[in-house]
Structure 1
Amino acid sequence: MTLDELQHAIALKLIPSVGDTTAKKLIQHFGSAKAIFNESKKDLKNLTGIGEVKLKAFKDPAYLIKAEEEIKFIEEHKIDYTYYKDKNYPHYLKQCIDSPIVLFSRGNIDLQNKKIISIVGTRKITTSGIEFCEKLIENIAPLNPVIVSGFAYGADITAHKAAIKNNLQNIACLAHGLDQIYPKVHKKYMKDVENNGGFMTDFCSYQEFNRNNFLSRNRIIAGISQATIVIESAEKGGSLVTAHIANSYNREVFAVPGRPTDQYSKGCNSLIKRQMAHLLTDPADIIYHLNWDIAEEKKNKQTQLFVELTDDEETCLKILEKKRKAELDEIAINCQYSTSKTASILLNLELKGLIRPLPGKQFEYI
């Protein structure tokens, strides 16, 4: 994509009356963003949906001037950008009808052939919510997934910090331009995020944080990944909006259940009750529903003639070898381990290619 075309694409997205869906239709019709601005008023007016407001905007030089300033910022600060027609545009996001025509990013982002999940939730995350999120990411870390969130308080920053701790690539989607950060208190995490992942937004550098921008930000979080996980949520909140958007994109949604009386479990319980999300209690749920192939992760590893097992892993494996197939709770009882510990052990056995998960929290000896 040339800088000239980039300038016109940015100018197009800056016009308030033109959204990404309309912009794509116009680009498809005229062949390029630049061609739209060079088209005559007469030809533009013949198109359905192009009224006087849009006609006036296409001929207003202010948008191109503003776009030129943005390109200077991009060059000066070495900002990465990708056009929706580019090969390196996020694969899953490209499938969404309202995905941004231009994305800006900073850091070391690589989404090619990656397992990608988004994690969202309340800003007032509880201690148990933090513990669940950290344990979940720790348990799926061997699969090397990309963790996506919104860099906000609560569940978002918990997910980013857990990804950093486990050396996983993580992407922070922002509701503002890349010349600022919100909340400012999270500035201390920026370097760690950029070292293995980065920041992404469809807002220009000068566009400041605004709560009205969350909807735009949330569609990227929902669209860029294979699935959205809601850790905790009240009856209303941005994480539920993200879950609804993910549903509209036909993506998988997972929700962590909680007690009916817990304020920040009501949103998750509602998603599950209304069959808008899978119930999530252990990492195997994600692996099963997303059909992640454990064997695929082993292709690039040296084949081992003898698999080394810990004492705990041997105990669980012997139970399954004898029973051939058993439920998680049954294995935990036989091993005399907690359910959470057993789930973690079973995931390790899956990664070693010795067992496989089945529907209904069952596991089978291979």
Structure 2
Amino acid sequence: MTEQDLFYLLALQRIEGVGDIMAKKLLTHCGSAEAVFKAKKSQLAAIDGVGTNLLKNLNDTSVFEKAKKEMAFINENNINVSFFLDDDYPDRLKHCIDGPLLLFSSGNINLKDRKIISIVGTRQITAYGTEFCRKLIEDLAPLDPIIVSGFAYGVDIVAHQLAMEYKLQTIGVVAHGLNQIYPKTHKKYVARVEENGGFMTEFWSTANPDKENFVKRNRIVAGMSEATIVIESADRGGSLITANIANDYNRDVFAVPGRVTDKYSQGCNNLIKTQKANVLTSAADLIYILNWDIQKETQPVQKQLFVTLDDDEQKVYDYLLKSGKELMDIIALHCDFPIYRISGILLNMELKGVVRPLPGKLFEAI
């Protein structure tokens, strides 16, 4: 991603009415953020969801000054920026339709070919929760997973600390810009976290840790992880929101059971009772359900097709073989097809038996 690309992407984010889903839709149709700003009104008006107000807002030139200021912060503080199609963007988060357009990060984060799990829970962690978390991370350490959490009080900070103790990479996903730390008492952990992983956010330096930002943050925690683990939770709490989001993303969720009389086991027990989470009694449960104990060393085999694909279909098929499961919009963007065209191509390929649709508007090659 060039500086110019980043500038226009930042400007696009500041257009009122453009969220992550709409931004991706605009990029799919126009090809780039710069092209969105230079597109004719008639071209933009033809895009589903673009109305009169958004067309008017796209003429707001004040967003360029805001983008310029944020770029200065990014450059001055050596912030890494990942576009949702970049290789260093969390792979599983790419498959979440509402995943952030851009992610800002600091530290030494390396996500390539890594197992990633999130550990969340109450801010009032008990001795039982702390001991369970310690034993879990200790037993998982030989598998070298990345431990993701929200850098908050309680379960979050315990998970980060234990990950570092067992020399695992850990990532704190925060609900504000990278120019601050919340809670402030956790400033003492920042340097160690950045040495052993780092921090990640979708928020600009102008964003404060407002209440609504924590819910948005939770979808990143859930979306980038293979599984979400709830250590302890009361019958209501942010960790339950994260668990529900993980379920919506078709991710595995695990909950640690506790006594029915314990306040901070009620949320976990309810997740298990309503079949929204697997019971987690030890690391072995997670290893078994996620198939982490099965080492597959087989080489990929090129599928021999006994059907004829035209040039467009072959282009899509080759892309899906390389990328794996992918959203229709992202396929269109990568293969340089308008969205109306890609839907027809995928339908023909499905009828030919070379691709199959998956939940969440995903497609994969067969």
TM-score grouping bracket, smaller chain normalisation: 0.7 to 0.9
- Shift in Å, 1:285: 0.5
Which residue is 1:243 aligned to? 243
Moved over 6 A (4+): none
Give the 3-state SS of the residue equivalent to 2:133 in structure 1: helix
SS at structure 1 position matched to 2:74: helix
SS of the residue aligned with 1:109?
coil
* DSSP-derived class of the 1:64 partner: helix
Q: Please tell me whether the aligned partners of residues 228 and 253 of structure 1 are also in contact (alpha carbons under 8 angstroms).
A: yes
Q: What is the deviation of 1:109?
A: 0.2
Alignment-mate amino acid for residue 84 of structure 1: F
Q: Is the 2:29–2:47 contact (alpha carbons within 8 Å) kept by the matching residues of 1?
A: no
Matched, 1:88 2:88: yes
Shift of residue 242, structure 1, vs aligned partner? 0.3
Amino acid at match of 2:164: I
Q: Which residue of 1 aligns with 2:27?
A: 27
Q: Judge which range, 203-212 or 182-191, deviates more.
A: 203-212
Output the CA distance in 2 between the equivalents of 1:295 and 1:87.
24
Match status 1:77 vs 2:77: yes
Aligned residue for 2:194, secondary structure, equals helix
Question: Secondary structure of the equivalent of 1:124?
Answer: coil
1:241-295 per-residue CA deviation (whole Å, 9 max, x = no partner) reads 0000000110000000011111111111111011110000000001001110365
Q: Which residue of 2 aligns with 1:174?
A: 174
Alignment match, 2:219: 219
Tell me which amino acid in the other structure corresponds to 1:141: A
The secondary structure found in structure 1 opposite 2:268 is helix
Deviation of 1:7 (Å): 1.2
8 A Cα contact 2:124 2:153, kept in partner? yes
Q: Percent identity?
A: 58
State the partner residue of 2:271. Answer: 271
| TM-align CA RMSD | 1.3
3-state secondary structure, aligned to 1:104: strand
Alignment of 1:43-122 (within 5 A): 43-122=43-122
Task: Count the aligned residue pairs.
Answer: 297
After superposition, give the CA deviation of every residue in 1:51-94 in whole Å (9 maximum; x if it has no partner): 23212221101112111111111111110011111122111111
2:154 aligned partner, one-letter code: G
Q: Distance in 1 between matches of 2:10 and 2:287?
A: 38
* Match of residue 153 from structure 1: 153
Query: Counterparts in 2 of 1:232-311, with a 5 A limit?
Result: 232-293=232-293, 295=295
Give SS of 1:4's match.
helix
Alpha-carbon contact 1:79-1:106 (below 8 Å) kept: yes
Residue ranges of structure 2 left out of the alignment (5+ in a row): 298-366
Of structures 1 and 2, the one scoring higher in RCO (CA 8 A, sep 6+) is 2
Equivalent residues of 1:143, 1:294 under 8 A apart:
no
Uncovered stretches (5+) of structure 1, i.e. residues with no partner:
298-366
Aligned to 1:346: none
Rounded Cα–Cα distance in structure 2 between residues aligned with 1:293 and 1:12: 44
- C-alpha separation in 2, matches of 1:134 and 1:64: 47
Structure 2 distance, partners of 1:41, 1:82, is 29
Q: TM-score, normalised by structure 2?
A: 0.79
Tell me the CA shift for residue 135 of structure 1. Answer: 1.4
Q: If the length of structure 1 is used for normalisation, what is the TM-score?
A: 0.79
